[in-house]
Amino acid sequence: MLCSLCWLLLIAVVVLGLVYYVIQKGKERSWKRKMEEVGGVKDIPVLPGDYPLLGHLTTFMRYPPDNHFEKHAETFKELGDSFIIKAPGVPSRTYVLTINPDVVKHIASSKFGSLFEKGEKMQRQYLQFLGHGIFNVNGEEWKKHRNVTGTLFHTKSLKDYVHVFATNAHRMFTKFEEVKKGPEYVAKGIDMQDYFMRYTLDSFAEIGFGVKLRSIEEQVNHFAIAFDTVQTHTERRGRVGEFWPVLEKLKPNHDYEQKLKYMNETVNNIVQQRMSENDETLRASTDALSSIIMDTRTNQLSYTEEEFRDFVMNFLIAGRDTTAMLLTWTFYYLAVNPDVEKKVVDEINEVIGEEALNFENIKKLTYLKWVLQESLRLKPPVPVDGYTALEDDVLPGGLRIKKGWEVYYISEIMHKREEFFESPEQFIPERFKEPNGCKAGMNHPAVYIPFHYGPRTCLGREMAYEEAKIMICLTLQKGIRFRLHKDFEPQIKQSIILTSKNGMWMDMISA
């Protein structure tokens, strides 16, 4: 009896869904006629294989689960620099994917806040993970989070961070010597992705939250493992559109739930540790979390414990993962381009010499900055981002979109457009002699956006460069070189953060 009822419910849902689909198609035709009256507008190409209710689900299922970029790149060549894909739902969840810098400028700057922002579907998808933190809110909430962290990135603060980054780098070197003595090192080498995640976690926890986590010394990096599970799960909810809550009810992902619980406990422990400090201790601290707690105690700000959790979780991502992946991929490119590595060494010897690293002298490392910029071009840490249309609109090029459609720019592909970048697949730091690394005369302000674009451009850009430069300088000055372990080749893993699915296993050798 119960089985029969389930089938009847399923049939009813399908029938109602198809009726809704037909009604929506009629509305869409009416909308198109309305837009045609404006003149000079056109439809965005739709990826073939769109079905009622399912959207492009069957197409997604044929793609490699960890890397859609190659398939998307092929589609851009076939359909142009913007196209539509649809995820399941009633109605389907419509995504506009683009590598057009004019569109990026339009949604992230020109019309940001008035016509485009983080939409409800985006926010709901990431709510359990990001909560109401800076990456998942709009308007005044977003401004509040952004304003309270401004002092983290002032020049005076950046000068103070040099010591923190250098101290943690030396802790890494000590750990490497220990790891080299273990049996796994001979068989596999060192997973540098894992250790750069530890380095940036410990560094940002200290400067952002005033706590010393000491993950570098741990045998297993539990936080990184949990984060990878949580970020992958939440990002891939978008592939099943509006059906993900139902699917997760029918088949819960217990590993995700356990990992999210662990992350929440870790973050809440950080918050509770700082909230237990007295006013004198907090006033003497320079980290952002202490400042927010004090401002809340004195009624200058209004933050709940849940908002403290969201603040810490979001800024752990901002301060840990993006710089960790910048370092991971930069050391990869140095390993496979020893001629570039030699130029970096020569510049360090010439500019730094026997001096201790400081804010002023590392700023003078121009070639190393180019190396980091080139690494970010080929492997942007956050490879996809976007916003939701609040009203019907016409994108640059006369592309009409509807209210509620989500427009995503894929910097991982846009950064390799031959129209803008010479030999785009090659690692050529010298290209950054030109603005944004573009061909002479071809620069566009929104074509190279590793830290994103517009009002939501990453505040921590200069801190990321500083932290990466310090680690690279100290490594090379110690005569340490990293080379890929025999037969190892990293495999792209697409998620919120662009990682290597199989780590970054490298051998540590002497220069």
Query: From the annotation, which residues make up the binding site for heme?
Result: 458
> The tokens of 476 are what?
């090379």
Diameter of the chain by CA atoms? 82
Q: Which of 237, 220, 411, 213 is nearest to 316 (CA)?
A: 213
Burial (CB count within 10 angstroms: exposed 0-12, middle 13-18, buried 19+), residue 407: buried
Tokens 């309305």 correspond to: 34
- Confirm if 410 and 99 have CB atoms less than 8 A apart: yes
Please state the separation of Cα 499 from the chain's center in Å: 10
User: What span, in angstroms and rounded, lies between the C-alpha atoms of 77 and 417?
Assistant: 11
Q: Residues marked as binding? A: 458
Q: Which of 221, 448, 235, 196 is nearest to 319 (CA)?
A: 196
User: What span, in angstroms and rounded, lies between the C-alpha atoms of 161 and 466?
Assistant: 9
SS (H, E, C) 410-425: EHHHHCCCCCCCCCCC
Tokens 């810098």 correspond to: 101
> The tokens of 318 are what?
């901002």
User: What span, in angstroms and rounded, lies between the C-alpha atoms of 412 and 428?
Assistant: 16
User: What span, in angstroms and rounded, lies between the C-alpha atoms of 118 and 121?
Assistant: 8
User: What span, in angstroms and rounded, lies between the C-alpha atoms of 500 and 123?
Assistant: 26
341 CB-near residues (< 8 Å, 6+ apart): 334, 335, 476, 481
Q: Which of 431, 416, 427 is nearest to 331 (CA)?
A: 427
User: What span, in angstroms and rounded, lies between the C-alpha atoms of 151 and 139?
Assistant: 20
> The tokens of 50 are what?
């769109």
Using only C-alpha atoms, the chain has a radius of gyration, in whole angstroms, of 24
User: What span, in angstroms and rounded, lies between the C-alpha atoms of 450 and 461?
Assistant: 9
CA angle 481, 220, 179 (to 5 degrees): 35
User: What span, in angstroms and rounded, lies between the C-alpha atoms of 41 and 59?
Assistant: 28
> The tokens of 24 are what?
């929506």
- In 15-69, which ranges are E strands? none
SS (H, E, C) 277-337: CCHHHHHHCCCHHHHHHHHHHCCCCCCCHHHHHHHHHHHHHHHHHHHHHHHHHHHHHHHHC
Q: What is the DSSP letter of 323?
A: H
